[in-house]
Amino acid sequence: MEGFFTALVTVGLAEIGDKTQLALFCLASKTREQLLLFLGALLAFALNDGIAVLFGGAISRLVPLIYIKILAGAIFVIFGLLSVLKGSEELVECDVRRPFFTAFYLIFVSELGDKTQVAAALFAASYGPLPVFAGAMLALGLLSLAAIYLGQFIFSKIEARKRSYLAGALFLLIGLWQWIEALLGG
């Protein structure tokens, strides 16, 4: 049980306000299919953390972290630019026609080599893979649900054009954040 609670608390605290939570928050403004958004994100987290737990972070040794962060930054910047440039609810919704795959792709790429993935790998070595994986997934699942429903609630109170600009600005900031981290080596 120690591994479960260690992963639950550590991953939960580390992910609050993380780029993936902000991404889900923004994606929630672009679709009414929150369940598909959640399931896509959950599958991405499960694969990333499952891989980390099983292989102890070997993926980040195979693909340099800088390339992963540059790719993730580019994806967020593209989403941000599309949101800002289109600026209307009708056009923005086409960006998330497939919320499951959109959430999966964004979360999967941006979480590769993330601090919580590394933490899960390290905890698995000490506590065993199953309790660590279960604790991490519970934390990530709860935070993802909160981000999706909070995002849907807040963005439902904002006019469509302003919602597009706000979501676009958040995506741009997340993308730039990824690039800055890549440049700084973090």
pLDDT surpasses 80 at 95: no
Give the pLDDT confidence score for residue 9 in this predicted structure: 87
Torsion angle, CA of 63/101/180/171, rounded to 10 degrees? 180
Task: State how far the Cα of 120 lies from the Cα of 157, in Å rounded to an integer.
Answer: 37
Contact in structure between 99 and 27 (CB atoms under 8 Å): yes
Which is nearest to 89 in space by CA: 7, 29, 37, 179? 29
Mean pLDDT of the chain: 80
pLDDT at 111: 82
Tell me how long the chain is: 186
| pLDDT single digits (tens) 15-51 | 877 778 888 888 887 788 899 999 999 999 999 888 8
pLDDT of 186 reads: 58
Cα(107)–Cα(37) distance, rounded to whole angstroms? 11
CB atoms within 10 A of CB 39: 16
pTM of the model: 0.71
pLDDT value at 92 more than 60:
no
* pLDDT of amino acid 60: 54
Amino acid 88: pLDDT: 47
The segment with the largest mean pLDDT, out of 82-91, 101-110, 162-171, is 101-110
Written as six digits, the tokens of 113 are: 């080599």
> Which of the pair, 98 or 64, is modelled with greater confidence?
98
Q: What is the mean pLDDT of residues 53-63?
A: 63
Q: Is 105:24 a contact under the CB 8 Å cutoff?
A: no
Share of the chain above pLDDT 70, in %: 87
State pLDDT tens for residues 118-166: 778 877 777 788 898 999 999 999 999 999 988 888 877 877 777 777 7
